[in-house]
Amino acid sequence: MGDIPPTSSASQLVTYAMCGRKYYFIYVLGLEPEKKSTALVFGSAVHGALGFWFNEKLAGRVPLVPAAEQVFLADLNAGLAGVSEADTTDLEEQGRALVRLYLKKYGELPVVAVEQEFVLSMHDPETGEVLPRPLRGYFDFVLGDGRVIELKTSSRKWGADVSKHLQLGAYAAASTRPVEVHVLVRRRRDAVVDVMNYNPDGWWHHAAAALERGILARHFAPSPGPMCSTCDFASACSDWKTDGHHRLPVLDARVGT
């Protein structure tokens, strides 16, 4: 039986909240997704290009927008290698437009750190008990005044209320200053950057502690639903149900037994 990772993360909590079995496949068994997510590859490539820009500035160099675009294209094409169904032409155009727009608006932000690591002690807000695993993560950008910038890419605008966003809650809990969310919306015609301020209301520690306790107890129950057909681990989940060696124990729930 595989081991749970020694540290928690925002991604782990989000995955476990979605489906305990998916968490088990990724973080305990270490399985690779059965198909690549073009959205994740796209987002990673945009992050890489913008990170390149600010790292160049921190190194005392003067970056050029075309160079940042080339970083995006290289990361995108490397990530989508072998993905025949991906329309790389549209993705390339949308990504380059987002990179150009973001750098035009925010290329002079006073960034002092890129991908800054943080470690957050997790505790039960009811008892004060410190949980065994700390949460490790990375702030996308940290500004000179301590503010945190979190980048997100999306194919559509976000809703106005992000107060219960589990991942943003982790960053807010780890930061002593407000978290500013920059949502880069990719479109066929025009790119958009929405800026949202994340204001936590104290719920995060309760939710995170409950999820973390479930992980530590190894409760990896599935979450059957409409999203199963598009899950990156659909085959593994199907095999689990038919392979006697991996079948979950069935309790006899008959009255009187």
| HEC string for the chain | CCCCCCCECHHHHHHHHHCHHHHHHHHHCCCCCCCCCHHHHHHHHHHHHHHHHHHHHHCCCCCCHHHHHHHHHHHHHHHCCCCCCCCHHHHHHHHHHHHHHHHHHHCCCCEEEEEEEEEECCECCCCCCECCCCEEEEEEEEECCCCEEEEEEECCCCCCCCCCCHHHHHHHHHCCCCEEEEEEECCCCCCEEEEEEECCCCHHHHHHHHHHHHHHCCCCCCCCCHHHHHCCCHHHHHHHHHCCCCCCCCCCCCCCC
pTM of the predicted protein model: 0.86
Choose between 238 and 101: higher pLDDT.
Answer: 101
In the chain, domain spans: 10-211
- Residue 120: pLDDT over 80: yes
Choose between 48 and 160: higher pLDDT.
Answer: 48
CATH class given for the domain over 10-211: alpha beta
The CA distance from 94 to 153, in Å, is: 11
pLDDT tens-digit series, residues 183-240: 999 876 667 788 877 776 678 999 999 999 999 999 999 999 998 988 999 999 988 7
pLDDT tens-digit series, residues 38-51: 899 999 999 999 99
State what percent of residues in the chain have pLDDT above 90. Answer: 67
